[in-house]
């Protein structure tokens, strides 16, 4: 007798009506992908349930992996037995005894298979009596048990579980289309990417850098952040845009107070072109209302003017501390705070306009022509596919 299965629950997806099949198939694929280093471990679907078959493998590392997969609401180690009363009794007893600290227990039977001759209420009593008769020191407490022995009698077999581990929730990555994440080296944008992924969005990333003003290490930092996000999905394609010439031109030709706004507008124009090429229908940013001068309502209104693409801003209403907490949870924080220069921190106007107006910006932009430099930047994009397998840069391993 042993816990040889992990029962996967995908709560929210049950609400999705006709799409349910698509969600479940994707979830199964994502779990399979995540567990591909464990060749003996299999992922199976039965009606309304998904299971990981351990085939003798230690459960803990598998559970840890499953805790990084969006779409899993909760999971439980399970014992699988035949739909046979004696086997069910034995498994329930094993589950109870396996949990030494518990004193008060309850049994909760669900009989999905109506061909099974004993109804669930009677089964609760039969199993409860069996457990009391074969153990010492346990009490039944249906309202406040230390342990609930759950028994699901299904068509193909019966599953016994006794504990629940919370999953990440959300939707399986790949079920909500793709978004282009504007990924800086900061704290916010990786968290924004994570939250978009949580809603089933597959991410590609775009990063603007300005060599030689920004270093190789600053670039590597962004790749490391992307790599950390691959833990929650698969590989991430990172588009690295050479931004030096454009930034220099903007800061030379545009009034200083407006340079930041115009730079952001050009980032969006370039991002839109990448979206078109990659068949991506939205962008995601780490913008947060009120955090910095460039993130006022007026500023967003003016920057947003240049694109019709929906912009997902998962952090828009969050408090900075909530964002930091999340970034610590998803382990991007330590990388994000490494002190490497960002293209936006190098070209900083002394006093950026906090309320840049559309008409003003349009007027300034009409005095210059950045088209050629934009095309040049787009042609110069370097694409790097970051996978969850790629080793960290040794330098960063020292620091983390």
Q: Which residues bind ligand ATP (CB under 6 A)?
A: 182-184, 186-189, 206-208, 285-287, 291-292, 294-295, 342-344
369 is written with which tokens?
Answer: 């022509």
Give whichever of 141 and 319 is closer to Mg ion, judged by the CB atom: 319
- Exposure pattern of 304-335 as b/e (b: 16+ CB <10 Å)? bebeebebbbbbbebeeeebbebbeebebbeb
Give whichever of 189 and 230 is closer to ligand ATP, judged by the CB atom: 189
C-alpha to C-alpha distance for 373 and 313, rounded to whole angstroms: 28
C-alpha to C-alpha distance for 296 and 359, rounded to whole angstroms: 17
Give whichever of 62 and 344 is closer to Mg ion, judged by the CB atom: 344
Give whichever of 186 and 193 is closer to Mg ion, judged by the CB atom: 186
As measured in angstroms, the least distance from the Cβ of 288 to ligand ATP is 6
Taking CB atoms, the residue at the shortest distance from ligand ATP is: 186
Classify residue 314 by its DSSP letter.
T
> Which residue, chain included where needed, has tokens 């068509």?
155
As measured in angstroms, the least distance from the Cβ of 243 to Mg ion is 14
As measured in angstroms, the least distance from the Cβ of 254 to Mg ion is 20
Do 51 and 39 meet the contact criterion of CB atoms below 8 Å apart? no
Give me the 154-193 binding string for Mg ion, x by CB under 5 A, dash otherwise.
------------------------------x-x-------
As measured in angstroms, the least distance from the Cβ of 220 to ligand ATP is 14
Query: Which of Mg ion, ligand ATP, none does 153 bind, CB closer than 5 to 8 A by kind?
Result: none
Give whichever of 95 and 181 is closer to ligand ATP, judged by the CB atom: 181
Query: Which of Mg ion, ligand ATP, none does 27 bind, CB closer than 5 to 8 A by kind?
Result: none
Q: Give the ranges where the chain is alpha helix by DSSP (H).
A: 20-34, 59-66, 85-97, 120-133, 188-198, 216-230, 244-253, 256-278, 297-304, 320-329, 333-336, 343-346, 358-365, 371-379, 394-399
Q: List residues binding Mg ion (CB under 5 A).
A: 184, 186
């Amino acid at each position: 007798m042993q816990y040889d299965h992990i029962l996967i629950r995908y709560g929210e997806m049950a609400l999705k009506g006709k799409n349910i099949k698509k969600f479940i198939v994707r979830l199964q694929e994502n779990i399979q992908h995540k567990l591909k280093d464990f060749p003996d471990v299999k992922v199976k679907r039965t009606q309304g349930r998904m299971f990981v078959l351990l085939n003798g493998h230690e459960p803990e590392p598998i559970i840890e992996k499953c805790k990084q997969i969006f779409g899993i609401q909760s999971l439980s180690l399970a014992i699988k037995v035949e739909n046979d009363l004696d086997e069910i009794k034995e498994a329930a007893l094993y589950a109870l005894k396996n949990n030494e600290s518990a004193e008060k227990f309850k049994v909760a039977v669900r009989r999905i298979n109506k061909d099974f001759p004993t109804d669930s209420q009677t089964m609760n009593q039969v199993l409860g009596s069996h457990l009391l008769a074969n153990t010492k020191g346990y009490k039944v407490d249906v309202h406040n048990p230390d342990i609930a022995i759950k028994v699901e009698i299904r068509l193909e077999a019966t599953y016994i579980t006794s504990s629940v581990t919370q999953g990440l929730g959300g939707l399986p990555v790949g079920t909500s289309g793709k978004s282009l994440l504007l990924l800086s080296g900061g704290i916010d944008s990786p968290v924004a990417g994570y939250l978009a992924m949580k809603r089933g969005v597959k991410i590609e990333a775009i990063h603007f850098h300005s060599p030689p003003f920004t270093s190789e290490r600053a670039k590597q930092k962004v790749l490391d952040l992307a790599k950390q996000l691959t833990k929650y999905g698969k590989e991430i394609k990172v588009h690295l845009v050479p931004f030096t010439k454009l930034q220099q031109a903007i800061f030379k030709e545009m009034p200083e107070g407006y340079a930041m706004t115009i730079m952001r507008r050009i980032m969006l124009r370039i991002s839109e072109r990448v979206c078109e090429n990659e068949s991506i229908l939205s962008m995601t940013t780490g913008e947060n209302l009120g955090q910095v001068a460039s993130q006022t309502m007026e500023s967003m209104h003016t920057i947003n003017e240049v694109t019709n693409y929906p912009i997902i801003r998962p952090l828009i209403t969050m408090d900075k501390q909530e964002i930091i907490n999340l970034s610590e949870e998803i382990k991007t924080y330590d990388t994000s705070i490494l002190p490497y220069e960002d293209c936006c921190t190098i070209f900083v106007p002394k006093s950026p306009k906090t309320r840049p107006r559309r008409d003003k910006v349009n007027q300034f932009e009409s005095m210059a022509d950045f088209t050629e430099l934009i095309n040049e930047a787009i042609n110069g994009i370097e694409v790097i596919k970051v996978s969850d397998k790629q080793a960290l840069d040794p330098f960063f391993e020292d620091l983390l």
